[in-house]
Chain A
Amino acid sequence: MVNYNLTNRLNILLGISVILFLILWLRLFQLQILESSVYQEKSEANSIRVVEEIPGRGLICDRHGRVIVENRPSYSLSVIPLEASRNPNTFIELARIVNRPVSEIEEQVFQHGRQSYQPVKLARDIDFELLAAGKARALDLAGVSYRFEPKRFYAYSVAPHTLGYIAEISESEKKRFPHKKAGDIVGKSGVEKKYEDMLSGQKGYRYMIVNALGQITGELTDKCIPAQNSGKMYLTIDLDLQLLAEELLEEKRGAIVALDPHNGEILAIASSPKYDPEIFAGVLRSDDWKMLQDDPEVPLLHRATQSGYPAASTFKMVTMTAAIEEGLVDENYVENCQGSYYFGRTYHCFKRDGHGRINPVDAIEQSCDVFFYRLGHMLGVKKLAKYMRIYGFGSKTGIDIQNEVKGNLPDEAYLDKRYGEGQWSKGLAINFAIGQGELLVTPLQLARYCGILATKGKSCTPHVFKEMRHPDGTKINYTSKVTSVDIQLSTFDILREGMLKVIEGENGTAWWLKDERWHIAGKTGTAQNPHGEDHALFIGFAPFDDPVIAVAVVVENAGFGSTHAAPIAVKLMTRYLEICEIPELTKPEETTLKMDRSGDELQ
C-alpha cells in the first residue's frame, strides 16, 4: 500500500490550475495590451470598407460649347476575394450571371490571393438585365458589389484620333498617376490622356460599416470626402468645320488640319479612315481591337500628326523664302523655263513645254519647277535646310496631342549619315527645292507653315485645348505660344501674292476655285509616290488680307493636288468664313454667283 498525502495532491491540482489560469491571463495580456494596436487595425480593416466615389468625368465640347463627349451611367461588377471565398455559391451564381466558367472567374478573383479585401473587377459596363439579376440574387453573391463608372457617350462621332479614349489603368500608367489604382479609368490617348488630370475630377471616399456577410450596415458620415466632378472642357475645334472636314475625307485616305494662324488654335483636325469611338466606350472586345489593328488602311493612325508626306510643290514658298532672304533673287528676277533643267541629269518641269520667262510671283502661281530647280541649285542643301527649320519642319509642333512625329528634314548631317559623308550629290537640293526627296512633313506641320505665311511671320504652337471650366467657376485657359520668324515682310508679300494668284491668277494652278466673296490664297502640291497614285496636297489661307484660317489638306493616292486637295481646302475655308461672318467683298446677284461656282466644280 502506497502512502500519500491527499492534501498534497490536492495542492498539486490547485497548482496546475494556477498555472493554467496564469497562461491564459498572460496570453490575454499579450493580445490586449502588447499587441492590441495590431488587432485594432485588423478589426477596422474587417468592418470598415472604404468605398470610392467616382467623380463625373469632364465633358468635352467644341469651341462654342457644343458637347461632343459626355457620360452615360455604367456599372462594373467587383468581387471582394475574402468575402466571396466564404460562400461557395457566389462563384456558381457569378458564372451564371457573367456567363463565364467558374474556374476562370475564381482564377481572376483570387489573382492577388484569397485573403485580399481589395475588390477585383470582374466585368465592366454590365447591362441592366445583368445588374438586376445580380441584385435579385444578392444573398447568394457574397462580396459582390456594383460600382458606378464613367462611360463615354459620343454625341457626335467625330475626331476619334484627337479625342482619344478611356480604359482601365495599366501597370505602367500607375507611375504617372500615383493617386490612381488598379481598376480606375484613365485616358489612354488623345485629349483624354493629355488632360487626364483636368478631366478625371477628384475621387471621393465614403467609409461604410459592413458586417461579416459584406452587407453595409451603416456609414461613418463625418469621415466622408465627397467626390468632385470635373467640369466642361472647351476645345478649339469648331464642330461644324470638323464635321465638314471628316465628310470631305470620307472614302478617302488622308488628313486635314485647319487652324487659326494668329494663335494656333486647331479649328478642325481630321484623319481618314477613322473609327467609331464607341468601340472604346465600354469594354473593348478583343476581336474589335484586332480588326482595327490589322486593317491595312491603318484607321488607328492619326495621319494629321503621325504621318509624314513629301511636301511637294506646297514646299516652294520655303525655297523662295530662302532665295530672297539669301539675296539670290528679288521680285524682278526672271527665269526662262524651257521645260527642263540640266545638272548632271535632266530635271523636268511638270509643264513639259516650259513656262517661258517667269518671275518669282508667277513661279509660285504656276508652280514652275524649273524656276525652283535653279533656286535649289543655287542655294544648296545647307541653306534650304535652314529655312525648312525656320518654317518648323523637321521638329514636332508641340501640339497637345501625343505621339506626333517630327517628319524628316534632309539637312547635311542627315545626308552624310544616309549616303556617307560628302558622298551625296549637290543635285539633291534641286529635288528638295520642289518638295520631293527625303523631306517628309506632317499635315499639321504644313498647316502651321501655311499659318506663318498667312500672318507674315507669326509662328504658333498648335493646340486643341482652349479652356477648362470647373463646376466651382474657376477656369484654366491655354496660353498661346506665338513667336515671330526671322523673315522680312517684303519676302512674305512676294510669297503671298504668288499664293493669291494660285487661285485668282489667270494661270493659277487652282484658278477654277476662285471665290467671288473672299480673296483666298493657297498652293497646290502633287507628291510623286513610287508606290502608287500621287498624293494630292494643298495649303491655303483666307481671307487674304487678314486671314482667320489656315488649312493643309493631304489626300493619299488621289492624283493632282489642284483637283483633289484644293477643292476640299477651299470648301472648308469658305465654310469657316461663313461661320465667322467675314464680310464679303462685293455683293453681286447671289444666285448667278452660286450657279457660276457650281459650274466651276470639276469633280
Chain B
Amino acid sequence: MNFSNLKEWDRWLLFGTFALIIFGLVVLFTAISGDEEGIPHLFKRQLLWAGIGLVLMIITAAISPRVHFAFAYLFYGLSCLILLGVLIWGDPSKGAARWIGIGGITFQPSEPAKIALVLALARLVSDKKFDPGRFTHLLRIIALTFLPLALVVAQPDLGTSIVFAAVFIFIAIAAGTPFSYLLILVSPILAAIASINMIAMTVFLALFILIAWLLKIRLGLLTLLIVANLGISLATPHLWNQLKPYQKSRLVTFIRPEDDPKGTGYQVIQSKVAVGSGGLTGKGLGDGSQTQLKFLPEQHTDFIFSVVGEELGFVGVTAALALFFLVVVRGIRAAITSKGRYSAIVCAGITSMLTFHIFINIGMTVGLMPVTGLPLPLLSYGGSFLWTVMVSIGLILGIQRRWKEYTP
C-alpha cells in the first residue's frame, strides 16, 4: 500500500468529491440559518460526519480489492442479518423500522447494505464460471438481490428497495446479460406501471412485442411473457391496496401533485417554485424566500437541491450537476481502466448506484420523479448516507489507484 504516491490517486475524483462536500456544507448552512438553535448544532454534526467520512474514504481506498473481494459475501451476509435484526428489534415508532442505535447515535443499516449488495453481486458475476447467457445464472443474481430487497421492503423502505433493484439492473448490464433477458426482467415493472389505464397497457404490449421480435425471442417464451405481464397488470390494483397509505399518496401525488397541495404534493409544488424562481443566477445565498421562510419542506435533507436551485439559480445547479457528472465519469473510467472484472463491476455498480440517487433525488425536486425519500449524495444532511457515499468513493479510489495491478 502506497499512501504517499498522490500521483496514483484520481485527483479529478477527489476534487469532485471535496467540491461537492464543501458545496453541500455551504448550502446546508444557508438552508438552516433560519433556525436560531439549529445552525451550530446541525452544521457541526454534518461537519463532523464529513470529517469521519473522509477518514473512512481514505481507509477504504487503502484496502486492496483482494480484501473486499474475499469478504464480499461475508459483508453481504452480515448486512442481511442486521437488516433482519432491525426488522425484529427495530423501533417502529416512526412508522418505519429503519434505524438502529449505536451508543447514542442512530444508524440506518440499509445504507451500508447498498455497498454490500454491490460487492456481492460483483463477486458473483465476475466468477469465471458465470455465464450471463444462461438464464439460471441470471436467476442467481436475482436471488442475491431479492433477499436484502425483501428485507427493506418489509421495513418498509420503498426508496432503498428501488435502489437495490436499480443496482441489480445496472450490474446485470455490466455483467453482459443479453438485452432480451433485461427486457424480460424489466417488463413486469413496466407492466405494473402500465396497468394505470387501458391505453398505457395497449401501448406497452405493442412495444413489448415489437422489441421482443427485434431481439428474436422464441415464440413460446414470448407467449409466456405476455401472459405473465398481463397477469401482473391485472394483479397490480390488488397489490396497490396492500400499500401503506403514505406510499399510495406518494405515488398518486407524483402523477398529479396538484390534487394534494397540502400533503406530498405540497412538497413537490413548493420545490418546483423554489427551483423555478431561482432563475438564471438565483436569489443569492441566504436570500431564497422559499428556503428562508420554510415553504420548502425538508430543505436540509431530501430537498437540499431545491435550495441550490433557488439561491444559486441555473448557474449553481449546472455547476452542481457538472461536479456530480465528473464523479460519475471518473467512476466509469476507473471501471474501464481496471484490470480485474470484479474491480470493474464494483466501480460500475457503485457509480450507477450514485447516478441513480442523483437522478431520483434531483428528479424529485423538479417534479420528474416521485417523492421517494432518497437523499442526494454528498449534499443532503445525514450521516449514514454520507458515509456510505464516501466509502463507495473510497472503493473506487482504491481500485483506481491500483489500475496497474492485477486485481480480482
Chain A residues with a Cβ under 8 A of chain B: 1-2, 4, 6-7, 9-14, 16-17, 20-21, 23-25, 27-29, 31-33, 35-36, 38-40, 42-44, 46-47, 82, 85-86, 114-115, 209-213, 217
Contact = CB atoms under 8 A, between A and B. Distances in A.
22 contacts: A6-B176, A9-B174, A14-B328, A17-B325, A17-B328, A24-B321, A24-B359, A28-B318, A28-B321, A28-B366, A31-B272, A31-B275, A32-B280, A32-B309, A43-B277, A44-B289, A46-B270, A46-B289, A46-B293, A47-B293, A85-B262, A211-B293
B53 interface: no
A13 B277 contact: no
B378 interface: no
B279 A32 contact: yes
Contacts of A115: 261
Residue of A2, A13, A44, A46 with most partner-chain B CB within 10 A: A13
Contacts of B133: 1-2
B178 interface: yes
A29 B314 contact: yes
B314 A6 contact: no
Interface in B321-366: 321, 324-325, 328-329, 332, 335-336, 341, 344, 348, 351-352, 355, 358-359, 362-363, 366
Contacts of A212: 293-295
A40 B283 CA distance: 10
B22 to A, nearest CB: 21
A477 B362 CA distance: 67
A10 B332 contact: yes
Contacts of A33: 279-280, 314
B332 A13 contact: yes
Interface in B250-278: 261-262, 266, 270, 272-278
Contacts of A12: 173
B329 A1 contact: no
Interface in B276-319: 276-280, 289-290, 293-295, 309, 313-314, 317-318
Contacts of B274: 43
Nearest to B360: A20
Interface of B: 131-133, 170, 173-176, 178, 261-262, 266, 270, 272-280, 289-290, 293-295, 309, 313-314, 317-318, 321, 324-325, 328-329, 332, 335-336, 341, 344, 348, 351-352, 355, 358-359, 362-363, 366, 368
Residue of A9, A33, A44 with most partner-chain B CB within 10 A: A9
A109 B213 CA distance: 58
A29 B358 CA distance: 17
A117 to B, nearest CB: 12
B280 to A, nearest CB: 6
Contacts, number: 152
Given A25-B321, A46-B289, A47-B295, A20 B314 contact: no
A7 to B, nearest CB: 6
Contacts of B328: 14, 17, 21
Residue of B276, B289, B324, B328 with most partner-chain A CB within 10 A: B276
B289 A38 contact: no
A114 B321 CA distance: 36
B233 to A, nearest CB: 26
A187 B388 CA distance: 69
A21 B277 contact: no
A13 B170 contact: yes
Contacts of B293: 46-47, 209-212, 217
A234 to B, nearest CB: 48
A32 B314 contact: yes
A28 B314 contact: yes
Contact of B276 (A6, A7, A14, A32): A32
Name A's interface SS: helix
Given A13-B332, A40-B277, A43-B289, 11 more contacts: A2-B176, A10-B348, A11-B332, A14-B332, A17-B351, A28-B314, A46-B293, A47-B293, A85-B262, A210-B293, A212-B295
Contact of A27 (B279, B280, B368): B368
A214 to B, nearest CB: 10
B144 to A, nearest CB: 19
Residue of A13, A23, A32, A85 with most partner-chain B CB within 10 A: A32
A138 B248 CA distance: 33
A164 B351 CA distance: 78
A211 B288 CA distance: 12
Contact of B348 (A13, A35, A42): A13
Contacts of A85: 262
A28 B279 contact: no
A13 B351 contact: yes
Nearest to B283: A43
A23 B275 contact: no
A13 B276 contact: no
Given A31-B366, A46-B289, A17 B332 contact: yes
Given A14-B329, A33-B279, A42 B273 contact: yes
Nearest to B175: A9
A27 B174 CA distance: 28
Contacts of A114: 261-262
Residue of B270, B280, B289, B336 with most partner-chain A CB within 10 A: B289
B281 to A, nearest CB: 10
A13 B174 contact: yes
A11 B348 CA distance: 10
Given A6-B341, A25-B321, A43 B290 contact: yes
A46 B314 contact: no
B366 A39 contact: no
Residue of B176, B324, B358 with most partner-chain A CB within 10 A: B176
Contacts of B325: 17, 21
A254 to B, nearest CB: 60
Rank and list the top 7 A-B pairs by shortest CB-CB distance, nearest first: A39-B276, A2-B133, A4-B176, A43-B277, A211-B293, A212-B294, A32-B314
Nearest to B352: A13
Given A33-B279, A86-B262, A23 B313 contact: no
A31 B279 CA distance: 8
B132 A36 contact: no
B359 A42 contact: no
B176 A9 contact: yes
Given A25-B318, A31-B275, A36 B359 contact: no
B173 A2 contact: no
A31 B321 contact: no
B359 A9 contact: no
B290 to A, nearest CB: 6
Contacts of B309: 28, 31-32
A2 B135 CA distance: 11
Contacts of A21: 321, 324-325, 328, 355, 358-359
B314 A42 contact: no
B248 to A, nearest CB: 19
A211 B325 CA distance: 35
A217 B35 CA distance: 13
A351 to B, nearest CB: 85
B284 to A, nearest CB: 14
Given A9-B176, A17-B332, A25-B318, A32 B261 contact: no
Given A10-B336, A17-B332, A115-B261, A31 B276 contact: yes
A499 to B, nearest CB: 77
A560 to B, nearest CB: 74
Contact of A82 (B173, B176, B261, B332): B261
A40 B366 CA distance: 15
A490 B259 CA distance: 85
B132 A17 contact: no
Contacts of B131: 1-2
Given A27-B366, A47-B295, A17 B276 contact: no
Contacts of A46: 270, 273, 289-290, 293, 295
A7 B336 contact: yes
A39 B275 contact: yes
A44 B335 CA distance: 47
Contacts of B314: 28-29, 32-33
